[in-house]
Each structure stands twice: as structure tokens, then as C-alpha cells.
Amino acid sequence: MTMSLLPSVGDGNCYYILTEDCAYGSKYFQAGNMCFCTERSYLSNFTNMPPTRFLRVVMLDDSSTVTINVGILQPVSEEMAAFLLGISSHSERLNCFLERLSLEAALQAVPGQRVMVEVNQQHFPAVIRYIGSVQKSTLTALSPFFFGVELQGEGENRGHNDGSYHGIEYFKCRPNCGIFLPFSKIQFIPKLDNDHGKQKPKVDTEEVVPVKVGDAVSFYVDNVRRKGIAMAVYREGTQWFVKVCPEEEGTTDIFREIPMDSVVKEDLHSQSLYPPFESDMDVEHSQMKQQIGESGDECEGVNPSLEVNSMVQITLDKGNQVSGIIRWLGYLPHTKHRMAGVELDEDKGVTDGEWLGKYYFHCAPKRGIFVKLQSCQPDVRFQCSRNPNLIDYREKEDVPRAPLSFPPLRNEEAVHILRGRMKGIQGHCNSCYMDAALFSLFSCTSVLDSMLFTPFPLCNRNVQNILRDEIVNPLRKNGFVMARSVMHLREQLTEKGQCSSFTNAEKDPEEFLNLIMHQVLGIEPLLRLQSGAQKEQDCYCYQIFMDKQEDLVVPDVQQLVEHSFLSSDLKLVEIPSCFIIQMPRFGKEYKMFSKIIPSLELDITDLLLDSPRECCVCSDVATWECSKCFKDKTFSPKGLKQFCSTCSKQVHSHYRRKTHKPTRLRVPQEFNRQNSRGNQQVPREKMELFAVLCIETSHYVSFVKYGPENEHWMFFDSMADRHGGENGFNIPTVTLCPEVAKYLDLPLAMLALEQPRDMDGVAKRLFCDAYMYMYQSKKMALYK
């Protein structure tokens, strides 16, 4: 659905939130950043026909002015923007905007309203006393809004102030009972609609909904009283409903949606139904004894293989099936069955891991659900196929556990083992970013095999073993990796990276690579860079930043890297064994260049710090470098421009170049002396391309070079096809794509005229959708 980019404006500004990451020049803005433009600027951009695709905005975080593709902007009202600004984490801010329920509740909240607030990962009752900004700044266009609340009950004395902040009083309460929080830390308790629903609630006396999530309730079906658990409380129009999971429905969690006035909270109906509220430990202990003392019903229907991190399927009401991962097992207050807290693959849940004000696990909003353990069954998509007629090779053999080493696949062996359907790495639940990256790094090269064996200082051996024994070895031995093996790795990364979304959310390859290389395995950075006289910088992936170059219509990777290094005054401190390069893009949608030519070899000689360089005129040892000459069209379009002393004087004697200021190069001592045979030959340092990751409509695929010839390319898609519909599984496919060579051999002018839709096979993906190029130095890989 297309939305107008002009939101409701209050002070003449239009406010927006970024829904995707965005690069602009040397700056990089994460999704969740906020920005604005004046109403006049908006109207001047969009009253013209056709309207422009880009909008010039001011970022609220740093007040920088940037131009952004309107496709990644979502409009917000001024008040909504102020509440969102109160959340410091960009990713959390975006999630709250997309989820909307809490944000809309914040917009409707008023002083005097009772709420539950999160303080130090604990939840306490509180009353809203103030809504607005604190410490208003004249330097920014908009100040963030916070809720000033007075903590009550167990929350007393857990606050930070008495309603004052930096000497300014916003409300009054007892010392250490006041605290200022963003709306994301507040759970707004819904109110029952009544005749006075539109009136402002009275301070401390407003009526709250009598039933909340987790309460034991009773209701009547055909004049028969039933009991159950409230799984969700929601409103449709003026009517409140409770989604109830009945206790008598067997092993299937049938959710009944019942009007609020037809549901009675159990402790109100009969005080003798449950004992007085106990601590969680007491409840669990007494309930476990009760279960053991009964007829063994607890074990009946429960699959003994289920445990935390098991992948399961659950049948809900009307036969709908959902899939997810068990994140917690145990007993909940007021429940007699052993329960499972499940993180679902889709937004079909009712919680984010919270039950009665306590978090038993953490996941994204609407991704969590609590069900009886006996309602969970192992996910059949990851079980052995017992039907020999079904073409499902997910379980070709058990995952090898022995610490063996299988070499990368090359030439005909790569074709024999990897080509075909159900080959490569099987995708599941937004895993394509990881599937494509792993296939690219390990199928046909050993440049990063040190990740599989070397005991780095911070190395997590469990992750290393999974990567080696469950993914890389099966890929190189059988040409196939099951989805559950990748899910096993994703679960470990979720735990180690303290990010609950690695098992189900869309990610970018660089986020995965930085996490596993830096935080989990702790390998040495792949790149060491230096900018001018500044300190060295370490990184694992290099993002190309550059302004749009009018003379670069169809550039190759060599040109892009040289322009980026020159514009940022960067040099490589040493020759990398692996050089991972991200192409310039604005988010996932807008590409700076419609086509990029893969450089099969990347010459880094002139990018190295304090390395011998060659005069671009006479090929002698260079002693001067000129950044201005790099843009001079008199010279060749490739290569940095450096000269020996003689050629530098001649070149800069021209009246157009007299204003240039070349910089002196540091030349190794042995290259300062000419030998008796003439000029010293400068060695060239070149890296070879071994893989390219591409993206189209948020789906990652990869091209891998498996042999020395230009035709030796294979194309991998972890979700190329599917078997079994919604409850089926993905079929990964590896195909050969020799047609790529045809376009690599074309002259630049002819390639520029090629229409992507007319390109043969999958070649269009390589030239038009490139996201990340991977180069290797086999010489340096021997030492790293």
C-alpha cells in the first residue's frame, strides 16, 4: 500500500523514520534513524510531475543534511516522532514503530494512568505523572518525549529521583520513587470502555481490565463451565475480547475468542480453586510433586526428545499450524501442565516472552507464545524422511562429528559434487544471507579455513565445531547441508551475540560475518587500514563510500576501490589474505550503479602503504603521488597516479597541473638504488575474485568461481524451489552459469548498452545485483 510522504505537520516540519540502512557519502545511517524536512521543501520536491525519487532531509541524531531514497522513508507525526526519539537503540526504535501497539498506547496515555514499567529488567507497578521532554535543546528540531512515572508497590525506592531532573521539577513524589523512561519500557494497561470512556481518567482511581494475560479464567460453553488460561486481551471497536486456551481441549491448543463480559477470573469465581499466590519456585515445586503423584499424565503425549532449542510445530485453532523454537520449559503460576515458551517463525504469537509481568525468555513482539508441552511436536521439516519415494535428501546421512578436514572443491570435482537440486545449503526462515555467505567462503576456497581449526584467543569452540563438522565438511564431502545444521549455528549466534533475532529475522551478510569472526571466534581482522597520519583501523569487511561520479557509468570493482581509497585517503597496511568488499548502495533498494563489472583480478599494488610503486609514465620506481592527476582524463581511467621525480616535473610543468600538490612516497631502501641492468622492476600484488554475493528483493544468492577459466562460475540459491507448500521445505539448487564469460569478454561500450532483461541465464544477477565481492591472496593465505 502506497503512503503519502506528507504526514501531519505541527511546526512546519515533516518527520520520517528510516526503514532500511542507508549510506550517504562517508556516512552510514542505520534503519531506525529519524529525520525531517520542512513542509516547503517537501512541497517543492513532490508538486512537480513526475515527483523525484529522492528527498533532502536533516538527520535528527547529528543534524547532517543528506539525500535519501523516499522508498525507505516512512512518515510519522510530530508527537509520534518525539516518542520514538526517546528510544536510543535504532533497531528497537524501528521495531516499536512497526509493531505500533505500544506507540499508539503511548499517544493516548495521560497523567494519572496506571502502568507496568521495566526497571533493571524487572517489572513494577507505577503511575504516570508527566509526559513530555526533559532538558529541551535549542540545537535540535525536536526533543524526545519521556514518561515520568512514580513507582509503587515493590518498585518503591528503585527509582532515580523525586520527579526532578537536572534541577528542574517535572512532578513530585517521594525520593527514589521517580524515574523517566521511554515508552518502550512501559506496558500500558488497557481500560474497559464505558459511558465515561472518553473522559480523562481520575488519578489513581481509573478502572482497569479485570482479566490480563496469564490469568486463570472460567467461561461457559453449552451451559457447561470450562476453565482455561487467558493468552491475549484485545479490543475490537468498543468491545473487549479474551483469547482463551481451554484446559480440556487435549493436546491441541484451541484458542477461543470470548467477549470480556462472558469471562470470569478464577480467583474471583472461587477463592478455593488455587492456593494463595506463592513464589515461582514454590509453585513449580508443588506442581511438579502433584504431577509426579498423579497417573503419569504429564508424560503422556509428550515427545521425550523435546528440549530447549528444539524446533517444533504447534496446531492452533482451526487446524492452523505454526512453527518455532522452544526457548523455555517449566511450570507457570496457575497452570498444572508443563509449559513451553516458543519463539515462532512468524508474527502469530501473543507475547514477547512475558507472562504475568515476568520474562521467561525474550523475542520480538508477537513472536512468543506459551503452550502446553504436549501440544508441541518435532518440526517434520527437519526430521528424517521415511518415504523412499519422496525426493527429500535432507537426511542423506548423520551429521559428521569427527574433526576431519575436507579440502575445498575445484574444477570437475566441484561440478560433480555440488551441481544439482537439493545441493548446497538448505535455506529456512530468512537464512539466505547466511547460506550465501557460507557457501561463498567455504565451498571452493580454503582462504578462511583457519576459522575452522585455529584456537583463537576468544574462540568459542562449540561454534567452531558446528561450523566445521555440521556445515563445511558435509558441504565439501556430500555437496549438501541440512537446514537444521545452519539453524544450530544460528541458535549459537543468538546466544553468543545476545540478539534474539538471528534465528528468524532478515540480516545482512556483513552483520553475520562481523559477529562470527569478531565476537564469537575472535579471529584477527582481515584488513588493516590507515588514513593519513591517523592510527591504524581494523575491520573484516570494507564498505565502499563515494560520491556519484559522472564519468563512471559502468565501473569495474578496481575503479570503485581506487576511488573509495583515494577519497578517504586510505591505504592498506599489509596485503590481506581475504578482501571482502561491499558495493556502494543506499539501502537494499537503490543501487548507485545499474551495472558493475567484476574485476577478476584486483591489483592492490598502489593501495599498499610504504610499498614500492611504479611510475605510470616510464615504469621506473615512483617517488611522488598526485591525487589531482587521478581525475585527469589525460591519463588512463584506472590506477592511482604516481610518478618518478623526472616524470613528475614534466607532468606538473603543464599549465593545467601547476596547481597540483603531489605528495612524496616512502620507498623501500632497496628500491632507491638501480641495479646494473637498468630500472628496478616493481612487483605487482594482485588478488583473485572467488565469490560474489548478490541481492534482489531482500533475497541473497551467490556466484562462486570454481575453476581458472572465465566460464567456471556456479550460481547458488538456498531457496530456489520449495516442496510441500507452507509446511514443506526449501530446495537449494546449484547451477553452472558459463554465460557469465560472454559478458566479461564484451567491450565496455557494448556491455553498457546491454539490457538486463535480455542478458542470458543468471548473468543479470551478477552484473546488476552485486552486493559483496570476495577476493583472496593465495600467497598470504599460507601465513594467516
pLDDT digits (tens, 9 = 90+) for 655-695: 778 778 888 877 766 665 554 445 566 778 889 999 999 99
Q: In the chain, what is the greatest distance between 2 CA atoms, to the nearest angstrom? A: 109
> Hey, what's the torsion of the CAs at 650, 656, 659, 663, to 10 degrees?
-50
pLDDT in tens, 756-775: 888 888 999 999 899 999 99
Give the position of cell 494519572. Answer: 112
Q: Residue 566, Cβ neighbours under 10 Å: how many?
A: 18
Which range, of 16-20, 65-69, 269-273, 294-298, averages the lowest pLDDT? 269-273
Select, from the ranges 158-162, 171-175, 592-596, 598-602, the one with the highest average predicted confidence (pLDDT): 598-602
β-partners of residue 123 are: 118
Read off the C-alpha cell for 182: 521511554
Phi, psi angle pair for 563, to nearest 5°: -60, -45
Q: Give the pLDDT mean for 404-428.
A: 90
DSSP H or E segment with residue 95 = helix 90-99
Q: Give the pLDDT mean for 261-278.
A: 49
Q: Give the pLDDT mean for 633-641.
A: 65
Predicted confidence at residue 693, as pLDDT, reads: 95
Q: Give the pLDDT mean for 250-260.
A: 64
Whole-Å CA distances, 703 to 204, 313, 716, 770: 63, 34, 6, 10
Q: Are 217 and 232 in contact (CB under 8 A)?
A: no
Predicted confidence at residue 676, as pLDDT, reads: 40
Whole-Å CA distances, 589 to 229, 295, 771: 44, 59, 11
Helix, coil or strand: residue 83? helix
Q: Give the pLDDT mean for 498-521.
A: 81
Residue type, 354: E
- % pLDDT > 70, the chain: 77
Q: Whose CA is closest to 151, among 168, 126, 172, 173? A: 126
Predicted confidence at residue 453, as pLDDT, reads: 81
Confidence of residue 726 (pLDDT cuts 50, 70, 90): low
Strands (DSSP E) contained in 30-87 are: 34-38, 54-59, 65-69, 73-76
- % pLDDT > 90, the chain: 18
pLDDT in tens, 530-573: 887 677 888 999 988 776 665 667 888 988 888 888 877 788 88
Q: Active-site residue numbers? A: 432, 699
pLDDT in tens, 306-316: 888 788 888 77
Whether cis (ω within 30° of 0) applies to the bond prior to 50 is yes
Confidence of residue 254 (pLDDT cuts 50, 70, 90): low
Q: How many helices (H) and strands (E) does the chain have?
A: 20, 45
Chain-centroid distance, C-alpha 282: 40
Q: Whose CA is closest to 583, among 607, 601, 606, 563? A: 563
Chain-centroid distance, C-alpha 59: 22
Question: If you ran DSSP here, which 8-state letter would residue 173 be given?
Answer: -
Question: If you ran DSSP here, which 8-state letter would residue 355 be given?
Answer: E
Q: Which residue has the higher pLDDT, 320 or 32?
A: 32
Predicted confidence at residue 645, as pLDDT, reads: 81
Beta-strand pair 164-165/114-119: unpaired
Q: Give the pLDDT mean for 27-33.
A: 87
pLDDT in tens, 109-147: 888 888 888 888 888 888 898 999 887 665 567 889 999
Collect all residues with Cβ–Cβ distance below 8 Å to 335 and sequence separation of at least 6.
216, 229, 287
CA distance 54 to 64: 16
Residue 702 scores a pLDDT above 90: yes
Q: Which residue has the higher pLDDT, 187 or 501?
A: 187
Residue 156 scores a pLDDT above 80: yes
Which range, of 79-83, 136-140, 145-149, 251-255, averages the lowest pLDDT? 251-255
Read off the C-alpha cell for 323: 512453527
Q: Which residue has the higher pLDDT, 363 or 17?
A: 17
Beta-strand pair 22-24/27-29: antiparallel
Please provide the size of the chain in residues.
Answer: 784
CA distance 580 to 561: 11
CA distance 74 to 779: 48
Q: Which residue has the higher pLDDT, 215 or 286?
A: 215
Predicted confidence at residue 3, as pLDDT, reads: 44
Residue 581 scores a pLDDT above 90: yes
Residue 631 scores a pLDDT above 90: no
Q: Which residue has the higher pLDDT, 549 or 103?
A: 103
Prediction pTM value: 0.53
Predicted confidence at residue 519, as pLDDT, reads: 83
Which range, of 142-146, 238-242, 448-452, averages the lowest pLDDT? 238-242
β-partners of residue 36 are: 15, 58
Q: Give the pLDDT mean for 249-277.
A: 55
Predicted confidence at residue 480, as pLDDT, reads: 92
Q: Which residue has the higher pLDDT, 381 or 233?
A: 233
Read off the C-alpha cell for 724: 510441500
Q: Give the pLDDT mean for 364-377.
A: 84
pLDDT in tens, 597-607: 899 999 888 88
Handedness of CA 638, 639, 640, 643 (dihedral sign): negative
Predicted confidence at residue 437, as pLDDT, reads: 96
pLDDT in tens, 181-232: 999 999 887 654 443 333 434 334 334 566 776 677 887 776 677 777 777 7
Predicted confidence at residue 389, as pLDDT, reads: 32
Q: Which residue has the higher pLDDT, 275 or 494?
A: 494
Phi, psi angle pair for 557, to nearest 5°: -65, -35
In order, the DSSP letters of 190-250 are PB---TTTTSPPPTTT--B-S--TT-EEEEEETTEEEEEEEEEEEEETTEEEEEEEETTST
In order, the DSSP letters of 540-573 are SSEE---PPPTT-SS-BHHHHHHHHHHHTTEEES
Using only the alpha carbons of the chain, give its radius of gyration: 31
